[in-house]
Amino acid sequence: MPSARGASTRRDNRKPWRRLRPILYDRANPMSAETERLATLTQILRDLLGDDSIELAMTTEREDVPGWDSFTYINFIAAVEAEYNIKFRIADIESFPNVGAVVTAIGAAKPR
């Protein structure tokens, strides 16, 4: 009959990845793909406007950000397309009501 110590060691040897699980995934701070996209869009707009104080939310509209005019919007969309290697349809670009719609469209877009 194996000792409790031997059984424990054998179990750990069969599945060594179990010891690494906390390192691979931090449950206390999960970052969804949506959150990552929002952070990337925020950085793109900060770079375009040269303003590191800009904070975007899913409900942020162009009118909410000082200096975000139509020319900046076109550059923003071009930068987003380049970053994610996607291409939006013109009808979509014209109808994005807020940043959340762009984030959602990135998730639904197919790579070029």
| pTM reported for the whole predicted model | 0.71
Q: Minimal CA–CA distance to 44: which of 93, 87, 105, 103? A: 103
- Note the CATH number of domain 28-108: 1.10.1200.10
Per-residue pLDDT, averaged over 81-98, amounts to 95
43-62 confidence digits (pLDDT tens): 999 999 999 999 999 999 99
Record the tokens describing residue 48, joined without a space. 């375009």
Per-residue pLDDT, averaged over 68-77, amounts to 97
pLDDT classification of 110: cutoffs 50, 70, 90 = confident
Query: What's the CA gap between 89 and 91, in Å, rounded?
Result: 5
Domains of the chain, residue spans: 28-108
Amino acid making up residue 4: A
Q: Give ∠ CA 37-42-46 in degrees, rounded to 5.
A: 150
pLDDT at res. 19: 44
